Amino acid sequence: MKITTAECAGFCFGVQRAVDVVNKEVETGNKVYTYGPIIHNEEVVANFNKMGVTVIENPEELNMLPAGTIIISSHGVSETIQNQLSSYGHKIVDATCPYVKKIHKEVQDKSIDGYHIIILGNRFHPEIVGIIGWCRDQEDSSKPCNYTVIENELQADDFHLPMDLKLCIVAQTTFNYKKFQELVEIIAKKGYDIIVLNTICNATQERQTEAYQLSSQSDAMIVIGGKHSSNTRKLYEICKNECENTYYIQKLDDLDLSLFKSFSNVGITAGASTPNNIIKEVHTVMSEKSFEQLLEEEKVVKINNGDVVEGIVLGVKDDEIILNIGYKSEGIITRNEYTNTPNLDLRTVVSIGEVMQAKILKVNDGEGQVSLTYKRLAAEKGNKRLEEAFENHEVLTAKVAAVLNGGLSVIIDEARVFIPASLISDAYEKDLAKYAGETIDFIVTEFNPKKRRIIGDRKQLIMAKKETLKKALFEKIAVGATVEGKVKNITDFGAFIDLGGADGLLHISEMSWGRVENPKKVFKVGETVKAFVKDIQGEKIALSLKFEGANPWINAESKFAVGNVVVGTVARMTDFGAFVELEPGIDALLHVSQISRDHVEKPADVLKISQEITAKVVEFNKDEKKISLSVKALEAPIETENPAEAEVETMVE
């Protein structure tokens, strides 16, 4: 077996500097504290702890501790934290990596100059938290400014800010360089004014490049580093992508040597916070083990990382499941490895004695137990299910698990599907909160689990359903047919009625035989309306509520015959007369000359809108739907002493 160790593996400059700072302060004999783990390696931190070094997570802890030296970790802190630490009167030693300090200076300067800061990296990594704390407001440099942290392509795709903003892009020093280029390209295509600062540490780029080359030439890879080390995790991802047989360990005890018995070329690399002695230990043991020894150990070791095992539940806590998998150690499934549902009490979903399958994450989790995952196994099955649905254009049904910025998240067998807001409906949805907990149908239109990009589409189904309903609707409706629908939208000129497949327009002039001044006072959205089809032009449907049986002119000839005295209401006025509504749909003209025996200049001089009047019908024309009224005809004639004038007056009437 050929063992090759990467030349760049182990402590980088910044980590070595931070470790040296702690060793130097310990030698002084003073009490030494580090704000957060000095580096992300549990072995190094545990060793310093044995030397009397205390890790603090909050400045307030210093109130209860004796005076000493506070060392700021290699990841750096925000300016606020730095000032708080200084306020306790302890000696402050800054072990922040110089590359990280440079980012602090860049974001501080650029944010004061008015740039919106884009940070590429893990939002919860201490280095990112520290960088955020150095962003400043343009108007008041003592205040923090707006910033955005982007970790993946989906977040980059969904990133939107006003186009007049200037952007400055920086990255976590240990960020994957290839991923950095991809995310920058996505953001740049949006058209913003951008400054890109490649703040990835040179040592990180070299280590990642070397890991890529070594893993592509090896049968198996060993990546050594702390569980919480960001740069080690990225090395693992790079190696795993090139070499399927890649194993992530913290120390020699985590290494299952039986896994390597059939490999000819094995590569070893390590994160920037991995001590050289651990790397040498692994290399030495790998080189010294004989093939016979590996075969002998295989008799004991019967499980491997990545294996799917079946076991019986021995015990259940609120956050942990203990499983008997037939191995010398018990298997443990934590809450985070069982489900994506936060704060779920596992005792409510799993029972002692239950048989369940799980996948091995680590044969030895560092405490002698086997670390298992149920969630990832379920997610793999879910991904398989989603892949099949994607290929077959199958309609899936699931409950909305979360309402996110820009869309909805649904879960199929622990595999997540994102439905963007633009694909939720065929119309703009302003309030997505209404979908929380709702069960919806969708299809998978994009499937790329490696990039965690599985996209669902509900809009297509809605449009297809509407198209089917529309076709069925137009096959059964005809001019004159009575239809029923719900009011979808109301405008000043009418109301749109959803007929189930297409909308019909009920124009304001067709809402009543009478006069309608404002459709919104007559109808409400969601109200059911029964109307008849007045006209169909292509896909445009005109509706009417003016049913012929309710036409007020049917019996008007007898009700408003010439000579009948009627009562009506003044509806509107012109200079030549007033229109009087006798009943909804029937208006009559009261000419200005027929308002009074006295001279009337304009109707408005003696009448008011909505005023009730009594008049005599002096003309009725059913064909032209015209009725003329006279109030003057009901008034007593003017008395006169000249019989001839009286006779003329009577003749006029």
Q: Answer whether 446's CB lies under 8 Å from 423's CB.
A: no
pLDDT at 385: 86
Residue 550 structure tokens? 């309710």
Residue 189 lies in a domain: yes
Same domain, 563 and 590: yes
Residues 6 or more apart whose Cβ sits within 8 Å of residue 485: 497, 498, 499, 500, 504, 528, 529, 531
User: Do 107 and 143 reside in the same domain of the chain?
Assistant: yes
Domain boundary among 427, 462, 497: 462
Summarised one tens digit per residue, pLDDT across range 61-80 is: 888 888 889 999 989 999 88
Do 425 and 507 sit in the same domain of this protein?
Answer: no
How high is the pLDDT of residue 117? 94
534 and 565 together in one domain: no
pLDDT 10s digits, 586-604: 899 999 999 998 899 999 9
Whether the pLDDT of residue 144 is over 70: the answer is no
22-36, 140-154, 309-323 — which is least confidently predicted? 140-154
Give yes or no for residue 646 having a pLDDT over 80.
no
- Do residues 37 and 315 make contact, with C-beta atoms less than 8 angstroms apart? no
Q: Give the number of other Cβ atoms within 10 Å of residue 520's Cβ.
A: 11
* Residues 420 and 435 reside in one and the same domain: yes
- By mean pLDDT, which of 108-112, 137-141, 229-233, 525-529 is the weakest? 137-141
Position 145 confidence tier, pLDDT thresholds 50, 70, 90:
confident
Residues 390 and 355 occupy one common structural domain: no
Question: For residue range 83-114, what is the model confidence (pLDDT) as tens digits?
Answer: 888 888 889 999 998 889 999 999 999 998 88
Q: What is the CATH number of the domain that holds 448?
A: 2.40.50.140
Question: CB count, 10 Å around CB of 528?
Answer: 9
Residue at token pair 């290399």 = 283
* Verdict on whether the full-model pTM lies above 0.75: no
Give the residue from 338, 355, 373 where a domain finishes. 373
Would residue 287 count as lying in a domain? no
Mean of pLDDT values over 189-207? 87
Q: Which of 355, 373, 391 is the last residue of a domain?
A: 373
C-alpha 100/C-alpha 171 separation (Å) is 10
pLDDT-derived band at 288, boundaries 50, 70, 90: low
**In-domain check, residue 16:** no
At 98 the three-state DSSP class reads: helix
Say if residues 302 and 340 touch (Cβ distance below 8 Å): no
Query: φ and ψ at 217, to 5 degrees?
Result: -110, 0
Other Cβ atoms closer than 10 A to 364: 17
Same domain, 545 and 562: no
Q: In this structure, are 414 and 497 located in the same domain?
A: no
Whole-Å CA distances, 298 to 258, 261, 329: 6, 9, 16
Is 75 within the bounds of a domain?
Answer: no
Same domain, 357 and 383: no
Same domain for 564 and 541?
no
Whether residue 627 is contained in a domain is answered as yes
When mean pLDDT is compared across 207-221, 563-577, 634-648, the lowest value belongs to: 634-648
Count: domains in the chain: 5
Which pLDDT belongs to residue 293? 52
Q: 492 and 537 share a domain?
A: yes
Tell me, yes or no, whether 106 and 182 share the same domain: yes
Distance CA 188, CA 134 (A): 24
In a domain, 137, yes or no: yes
pLDDT digits (tens, 9 = 90+) for 457-473: 999 999 888 888 888 88
Residue range 235-259, pLDDT digits in tens: 999 999 999 999 999 888 888 887 8
Rounded Cα distance, 357 and 355, in Å = 7
The residues carrying an active-site annotation are: 127
Domain that holds residue 452: 378-462
> In this structure, is residue 269 part of a structural domain?
no
CA distances for 94 relative to 31, 33, 204, 555, angstroms: 16, 12, 22, 99
Q: How is residue 268 written in tokens?
A: 């070893």
144: domain CATH number is 3.40.1010.20
414 within domain boundaries? yes
What pLDDT, on the 0 to 100 scale, is given for residue 649?
A: 44
> How many whole angstroms separate alpha carbon 315 and alpha carbon 324?
9
